[in-house]
Amino acid sequence: MRAGIKKGAEDINMIVEILSTGDELRSGSLIDSNSAYIAQKLEEIGLEIVRHSCVGDSEENISKILLEIGERADIAVVTGGLGPTIDDLSAAAAARAANVSVEYNALAMQSLEAFFNNRNYPMGPSSKKQAMLPSGSKCLMNPVGTAPGFLIKIGKCDFYFLPGVPFEMRRMLEEQVKPRILKKMGNKETCLVKTISTFGLTESATGEKIEETNDMFPEIRVGLRAKFPEIQVKLYGRGRHEETLRQNMAVIEKYVREKLGRKIFSLDGEPMEAVVGHLLRQKGAGLSLAESCTGGLIANRLTEISGSSDYFLFSGVTYSNTAKVKVLGVSESTLEKYGAVHEKIAAQMAVGAQKIAGATYGLSTTGIAGPGGGTREKPVGTVCIGLATPEKVITGKYHFPFGLRWMNKSVFAMKALDLLRRELLKI
Amino acid sequence: MRAGIKKGAEDINMIVEILSTGDELRSGSLIDSNSAYIAQKLEEIGLEIVRHSCVGDSEENISKILLEIGERADIAVVTGGLGPTIDDLSAAAAARAANVSVEYNALAMQSLEAFFNNRNYPMGPSSKKQAMLPSGSKCLMNPVGTAPGFLIKIGKCDFYFLPGVPFEMRRMLEEQVKPRILKKMGNKETCLVKTISTFGLTESATGEKIEETNDMFPEIRVGLRAKFPEIQVKLYGRGRHEETLRQNMAVIEKYVREKLGRKIFSLDGEPMEAVVGHLLRQKGAGLSLAESCTGGLIANRLTEISGSSDYFLFSGVTYSNTAKVKVLGVSESTLEKYGAVHEKIAAQMAVGAQKIAGATYGLSTTGIAGPGGGTREKPVGTVCIGLATPEKVITGKYHFPFGLRWMNKSVFAMKALDLLRRELLKI
């Protein structure tokens, strides 16, 4: 597996590790997404994670691994085990590993009291346990939850203990951890990250097209990140002279834009549905969908964006031919003659959707997501897309090589939205 | 954090670890879902994972952690690094840790040749690297991909090396790893797992209702798994007498069914959309949807099931009021008088959807997913659901306490499908 087209910066020599704790993670009941998030965020400020670990809710196992990490690493971020129940053992385990006791921490108590007062909740006795931190540790305030975090040195390593609740962890990582790490890194370096989102090429084809970015500037690393079905090009810049760094980032960005052209749909990491949403809002245009093979996925994506009701009017998920005819006005004879997966049907669906909702644009999909239903002429992975604009109707027929139903639905939806994006931008 | 209502079986003393490798995981570009899957599957046969680790594509770092695990554990499952590229270093790292060389493995070559021959692909020279395994290791055949796995002893630990591609890993875990581990466990014990899926209670309320299952039979452990918005009750049985174990599992299952009643929607781990699909197919009934606040999510879920076109006819995702009126025939005056989020509107939407597609059942949602759009009377989390059957129209108004848009959409969709399920079962 490749993380990108260039390996991590060689000038970094701090050893950084991530530890997640909790029986739900250890037993596989819950997938650990925190560790990946932390790794990404620390990579953005120029650090490279060496190892992730996960242990369950056991004071002995947690303190043991803290000692191991304390011998190896300079910085570690630990998540979980800061709650009020008897299963929450991180403070006790850290104290044991640091060979100190836990003690009442006034700042932690303030953090807890502020939380409960602001919400007019009474504070229960079990919450007071959360104000007990290892002696000599520094309290890390939690502005959005009850569990204060803490910073403690064990061995040669600074351990940042954060809650396991993702939105609390994310906020504290940003406000409490990153500034302290940047200070420890002891330099006035600027870190810049740029995400360029693309659709339409494979990961390796994308990498080949921009291979030269590897050697452009030593302070900028270029990596690829596959987020099916999109491929993100990530620029990680780190340097002492902010102005120069910004200029050099702009040079690479310009180069990548030239090489990848209209395959690029976003320069700030936004998903396709948000990009299309902005464009529709700018034009004051409304969108109506007719989805067969995507089964509501495009509508579901568009409506993940709060405020999408400003431009998203309707989707007719017409799985049956009857619904295609009755709701969208597709012609029965065309259906009979060509079958449902055909550009002519896609065109009629798009026009029908446009009309029914009085929308500026009508967008349609009809295809075979699999695993069943494929034929020699129309194998699994075939999709016909229709786009009705105020002036014309565009159609296209595509074939994707994926075997799994969810992958096909996903790439069909992306392709349809990308056609609309290109039409809105006239590119 | 709690893994369930009872901690792991005490009679197991084998130490089991999981190691994932790859720069994409280490850097956080990809979330590691393999480790959670493996932990769950091994827990099902009575093993408890002690630790997960993750390191990048570095021969040195992989071999180092293999040596550490070799000192601590009895069994370890390792994923990733078995591909044909220079980044794939697992065989080399294992050989280094075991202090042997890599050598050509005839069985691995057979596995590769079979793969390429079956698909009429030519085998490239880089693929031949995949037939080089550590001397003294045992090849684990990969029936669905190019990368053969292997089993090797390092220190006191049996290491099972599997590919990182999820469907290859899963197949090999089942066919190559689990039988060998069960044999090593050296007993004729039977392992049984039962998943009972529920919806409608919180995790803690579910746990309280079935607390007594804790002490019913020592060979059966009962755990809870939250898979938002459903809560699964899992029974893990392990015993020497299969017949007795089955009988005892049935006793607990009966007890859980009595306690949780119609909150239970599946006894074999199937998702709600599959359960509803079976019921509709059994009845020869067709379903049509009218989705406002769920924005196509219900249709998207239903159409994740291959063959759903047999019973799923149509969804009108009517985000705009115009679409509600024009497509579904909702009354403009009712809309004006009560607003879109109202049981009367839900009823009209359900009837409209039922009519338009000539469906047996019409199901509708209208509500406020947030984060914006809430009022004092209709706060974020409010949803009205309508269900039109051949005989009558049922409606309900509910409020859920979730702040996030995706959680609200998800729980609204589940509630609507659950109402339909109960109607189909008359419970």
Does residue A3 sit within a domain?
no
Task: Clarify whether residues A145 and A252 are in a common domain.
Answer: no
Which of B319, B341, B405, B410 is most worth mutating to test chain A (most A CB atoms within 10 A of its CB)? B319
**What are the b/e assignments for A29-49, b being 16+ CB within 10 Å?**
bbbbebbbbbbbbbbbbbbbb
Rg over CA atoms, chain B = 26
Q: Residue A66 CA to chain centroid, in angstroms?
A: 29
- Min CA distance, B290 vs chain A (Å)? 9
d(CA B319, CA A307): 11
Task: Clarify whether residues A237 and A371 are in a common domain.
Answer: no
Report which listed range, A148-162, B106-120, B205-219, is most confident: A148-162
Segment A383-398, tens digit of pLDDT? 999 999 999 999 999 9
Nearest Cα residue in chain A from B52: A54
d(CA A322, CA B314): 9
Contacts of A296 in chain B (CB under 8 A): 291, 296-300, 303, 315, 317
CA pseudo-torsion sign B67, A68, B1, B230 = negative
Does residue A280 sit within a domain?
yes
Segment A290-339, tens digit of pLDDT? 999 999 999 999 999 999 999 999 999 998 999 999 999 999 999 999 99
Segment A60-91, tens digit of pLDDT? 999 999 999 999 999 999 999 998 878 889 99
Instruction: Say how many CB pairs under 8 Å bridge A and B.
Output: 292
Task: Clarify whether residues B174 and B244 are in a common domain.
Answer: no
Task: Clarify whether residues B251 and B290 are in a common domain.
Answer: no
Contacts of A7 in chain B (CB under 8 A): 23
Task: Clarify whether residues A344 and A390 are in a common domain.
Answer: yes
SS (H, E, C) B329-398: CCCHHHHHHHCCCCHHHHHHHHHHHHHHHCCCEEEEEEECCCCCCCCCCCCCCEEEEEEECCCCEEEEEE
Task: Clarify whether residues A207 and A235 are in a common domain.
Answer: yes
Segment B244-283, tens digit of pLDDT? 999 999 999 999 999 999 999 999 999 999 999 999 999 9
Contacts of B35 in chain A (CB under 8 A): 28, 32, 54
pLDDT for res B187:
64
- Min CA distance, B16 vs chain A (Å)? 11
Using 50, 70 and 90 to split pLDDT, how confident is the model at B373?
confident
Does residue A106 sit within a domain?
yes
Query: CATH number, domain at B311?
Result: 3.90.950.20
Among B160, B184, B208, the domain boundary falls at: B184
Nearest Cα residue in chain A from B48: A27
Phi/psi of residue A188, nearest 5 degrees? -95, 30
**Residue linked to tokens 């159609």:** A395
Task: Clarify whether residues B145 and B283 are in a common domain.
Answer: no
pLDDT for res B146:
84
Does residue B3 sit within a domain?
no
Query: CATH number, domain at B249?
Result: 3.30.70.2860
- Min CA distance, A390 vs chain B (Å)? 19
Domain that includes residue B207, residue range: 190-266
pTM, full prediction: 0.83
Q: Does the distance separating the beta carbons of A31 and B3 come in below 8 Å?
A: no
Task: Clarify whether residues B285 and B261 are in a common domain.
Answer: no
- Nearest Cα neighbor of B237 from B216, B258, B257, B255 is B216
β-strands B190-198, B264-266 pairing? antiparallel
Does residue A11 sit within a domain?
no
Nearest Cα residue in chain B from A298: B296
For residue A273, CA distances in Å to A13, A126, A282, A421, B392 come to: 40, 44, 14, 10, 38
Mean pLDDT computed over B36-64: 94
Q: How many domains does chain A have?
A: 3
Task: Clarify whether residues B177 and B208 are in a common domain.
Answer: no
Task: Clarify whether residues A173 and A31 are in a common domain.
Answer: yes
- Min CA distance, B415 vs chain A (Å)? 17
Among B226, B247, B266, the domain boundary falls at: B266
d(CA A29, CA B41): 11
Does residue A240 sit within a domain?
yes
Among A137, A152, A184, the domain boundary falls at: A184
Does residue A379 sit within a domain?
yes
Using 50, 70 and 90 to split pLDDT, how confident is the model at B4?
very low
Question: What ipTM goes with this model?
Answer: 0.82
Under DSSP, is residue A146 helix (H, G, I), strand (E, B) or coil? Answer: coil
- Min CA distance, B258 vs chain A (Å)? 25
Q: Is B182 exposed, middle or buried (0-12, 13-18, 19+ CB in 10 A)?
A: middle
Amino acid code (one letter) for A119: R
Residue partners of A183: CB distance under 8 A and separation at least 6: none
Which of B303, B311, B327 is most worth mutating to test chain A (most A CB atoms within 10 A of its CB)? B303
Does residue B271 sit within a domain?
no
Query: CATH number, domain at A103?
Result: 3.40.980.10
Task: Clarify whether residues A283 and A380 are in a common domain.
Answer: yes
- The partner residue sitting opposite A51, judged by closest CB among B1, B55, B164, is B55
- The partner residue sitting opposite B314, judged by closest CB among A35, A323, A358, is A323
Q: Does the distance separating the beta carbons of A25 and B52 come in below 8 Å?
A: yes
Task: Clarify whether residues B205 and B92 are in a common domain.
Answer: no
Q: Does the distance separating the beta carbons of A317 and B299 come in below 8 Å?
A: yes
